Amino acid sequence: MTILYIIIAIVLLYVIFAYNSLVTLVNRGKEALADIDVQLKRRYDLIPNLVNTVKGAANFETSTLEKVTQARAIAMSDGKTLKEKAENENQISSALKSIFALSENYPELHANQNFLSLQSELSDTENKIQSARRFYNGNVRDLNTAIQSFPKNIIAKLFGFGEMELFELEESAAKNPVEVKF
């Protein structure tokens, strides 16, 4: 009879351990997603300053500035799935790349310290966003692996733990390798 109690105690302890480890993994995933949002908010705050600085350049392509402003407004709206959020963020990144590429044609922008500072801050923010996405995806991978692995999959199903979605890059051009020609 004591052996039965010992077996029940071991199973119960395992269930508690598995449950707590799944809770930890879910919370890490949520925290990592919040870190992405913090970096995105930083980018959203920098974009109006960049647009206003660039507007000062004579004859700068207004359609490019409108794309950035529109992409920012769409990205800031609430109630999107993670996939929609990723697509919107890729549009902002693409629009910002357009501004920086077109800025090469405007020497007065390259002499503008405010523009250079904003360009540097946005570049730093983009790097932090990429890092936050990798961190999030790593945490989601760990959670999804735990949920799919036996015997934790039984505990996960029993207590309603579900897999989280990865923050994936949807922009086909960004997935393709850079072609270098000499």
Mean residue pLDDT across the chain: 84
Query: How large is the angle between the packed helices 2-55 and 82-102, nearest 10 degrees?
Result: 30
Report the alpha-carbon distance of residue 47 to residue 44 in Å, rounded: 5
Structural domain count, the chain:
1
174 part of a folded domain: no
Instruction: With beta carbons less than 8 A apart as the criterion, state whether 98 and 67 touch.
Output: yes
Cα distances from 141 to residues 22, 70, 149, 170, in angstroms, run 12, 33, 12, 18
- For the chain, report the end-to-end CA distance as a whole number of angstroms: 79
Evaluate whether residue 129 is within a structural domain.
yes
Long-range contacts of 115-123 (CB under 8 A, 24+ apart): 115/50, 115/53, 115/54, 118/46, 118/49, 118/50, 118/53, 119/50, 121/46, 122/43, 122/46, 122/47, 122/50, 122/96
Residue 35 is assigned to a structural domain of this protein: yes
Task: Report d(CA 143, CA 172) in Å as an integer.
Answer: 27
Least confident of 16-25, 83-92, 140-149: 83-92
Q: Identify whether 29 is part of a domain.
A: yes
Place of tokens 């310290």: 113
Provide the domain limits for residue 13: 2-168
In a domain? residue 180: no
- Mean pLDDT of the 119-147 span: 93
Angstrom distance (rounded) from CA 104 to CA 119: 12
39-92 pLDDT, tens digit per residue, is 999 999 988 888 888 877 656 667 778 888 888 888 888 767 888 888 888 888
CATH number at residue 61: 1.20.1440.20
- Asked, for residue 178, whether it belongs to a domain, the answer is no
**In this structure, which amino acid lies at residue 146?**
A
pTM: 0.78
Residue (of 102, 98, 74, 80) closest to 173 by Cα position = 98
Q: Is residue 58 part of a domain?
A: yes
- What is the predicted pLDDT for the residue at 63? 77
Residue 48 resides in a domain: yes
- Both tokens of 84, joined, read 């929609």
For residue 33, what pLDDT band results from cuts at 50, 70 and 90?
very high
